[in-house]
Amino acid sequence: MDGFVFDEDPAVQPEPDGTVGGNDGKDNDPKGPGWKVAALLFVLLAGLAALGIYAQHWKKTVWVREVVFSGNRLVASGELEKKAEGLLGRNIGDVDGSVLSQRYAELPYIRSAEVAKELNGIVRVRVEERVPVAEVVGGDKVQVIDTEGYILPYRDLPPSSSRLLRVTGLKTGYVKGMRLKKADEKSFAVLEEMIQAVSLSEYARLLIKEVFLKDGNKTYFAVAGSPTRFILGNDGDYKEKLKKFEIFWQKVVAKKGLDGYATVDLRFAKRVFAVESSRQNYHGISR
């Protein structure tokens, strides 16, 4: 039959130039769009493999030429260097960072240490030191307590450091798995709150010399040059009690003298009870 054309797919029509249309101008790449992603992944994997090979080669050929310390203020660099003895000249791949970190953590004033190894042969040790908050007196021995309650051996602090409050009567005990002692949780809570209040006070922080922790709500402090016991107790509210102390100091002690009273009790609301050192008479003084 003349003029009859059998078309199995009427949607596909030949173009005038003989090509088959119907793709709306879209790329008809026989490889599909996924080959580019696959190629990119291949390049990335090859790069990682090359870096791994280079790292292994680096570890075998780079030697430790210097150990650099940072973060230390209380512990001298010379003391830290002793823990790194034998590292210089060693293959850097043989340096175990976790073992070295543990060495530094054994020092009482070091809380933690991070070790990093560099391509140029430098081993960097960044330490985090413990922060002293008070001196602890036990008999004729003076130690230091940090912000977490750990008891540290005494050492002179840098000139820029604030004066530490001295504490007597603190209960301590050894911590399982550690060489350091730690303060009793209850007594440390009292001390911690008291230190905070003293640090925020206007005059008390300049006057208070030593705190004596006592059971039975009888904790007291002493002022330099005075035999008077200023009783704070163990039941908190130290900020308010120190305000009463400052008022009493300005209004009474400044006039009567440093040795005029045996005890000054700050535990009562809005009143201060004082016992004179000679006649032992109580005086209730309103705030």
231 with 189, same domain: the answer is yes
Owning domain of residue 184: 132-286
pLDDT digits (tens, 9 = 90+) for 181-240: 999 999 999 999 999 999 999 899 999 999 999 999 999 999 988 899 999 999 989 999
Same domain, 150 and 268: yes
- Range scoring the smallest mean pLDDT among 77-91, 119-133, 144-158, 266-280: 266-280
Judgement on whether residues 186 and 216 belong to the same structural domain of the protein: yes
User: Among 87, 107, 129, which residue terminates a domain?
Assistant: 129
User: What local confidence, expressed as pLDDT, does residue 276 receive?
Assistant: 87
Average predicted confidence (pLDDT) for the chain: 83
- Using the predicted structure, report yes or no on whether residue 285 has a pLDDT greater than 90: no
**Residue 221 sits in a domain of what CATH number?**
3.40.50.11690
What is the reported pLDDT for 248? 92
Which among 78, 113, 129 is the end of a domain? 129
Query: Per DSSP, which regions of the chain are E strands?
Result: 66-70, 110-117, 122-129, 132-138, 141-146, 150-153, 165-168, 172-174, 181-183, 208-212, 220-223, 229-231, 261-265, 271-276, 282-286
Say how many domains are in the chain: 2
Looking at the DSSP bridge assignments, the partners of residue 133 are: none
Contact by Cβ (8 Å): 274, 283: yes
Same domain for 225 and 183?
A: yes
Q: Is the pLDDT of residue 283 over 70?
A: no
> Does residue 56 sit within a domain?
no
pLDDT at 255: 81
Select the highest-mean-pLDDT range: 223-227, 251-255, 278-282.
223-227
d(Cα 1, Cα 11) in Å, to the nearest integer?
23
Residue 39 lies in a domain: no
Q: Is residue 151 located within the same domain as residue 231? A: yes
Same domain assignment for residues 213 and 103: no
pLDDT of residue 161: 76
CB neighbours of residue 128 within 10 Å:
14
Q: What gap in Å lies between CA 285 and CA 232, rounded to an integer?
A: 16
**Rounded-to-integer distance, Cα 224 and Cα 187, Å:** 23
> Does residue 124 sit in the same domain as residue 138?
no
Judgement on whether residues 148 and 83 belong to the same structural domain of the protein = no
Residues 141, 254: one domain? yes
- Position 57 scores a pLDDT of 52
Q: Which of 142, 154, 148 is nearest to 128 (CA)?
A: 148
Alpha carbon distance 119, 53 (integer Å):
14
Retrieve residue 18's tokens.
Answer: 């003989």
Q: Are 183 and 111 within one domain?
A: no
Q: Residue 5 falls within a domain, yes or no?
A: no
Does some domain include residue 194?
Answer: yes
What is the Cα–Cα distance from 228 to 231, expressed in whole angstroms? 9
In this prediction, residue 3 carries a pLDDT of 45
Q: Is residue 95 part of a domain?
A: yes
User: Would you say residue 4 lies in a domain?
Assistant: no
Helix pair 185-200, 238-248: axis angle to 10 deg: 50
| Same domain, yes or no: 106 and 229 | no
Q: What are phi and psi of 67, to 5 degrees?
A: -115, 120
Q: How confident is the model over 3-21, as pLDDT tens digits? A: 444 444 555 555 555 555 5
Q: Considering only residues 58 and 137, tell me which one the structure prediction assigns the higher pLDDT.
A: 137
42 within a domain of the structure (yes/no): no
In the predicted structure, residue 287 carries a pLDDT above the cut 60: no
pLDDT tens-digit series, residues 155-173: 888 877 778 999 999 999 8
User: Which domain-ending residue is among 92, 113, 129?
Assistant: 129
Instruction: Say whether pLDDT at 53 is over 80.
Output: no
Identify the CATH number of the domain in which residue 71 sits: 3.10.20.310
- pLDDT reported for residue 60: 60
Whether 174 and 74 map to the same domain: the answer is no
Q: Which range has the worst mean pLDDT, 95-104, 142-151, 160-169?
A: 160-169
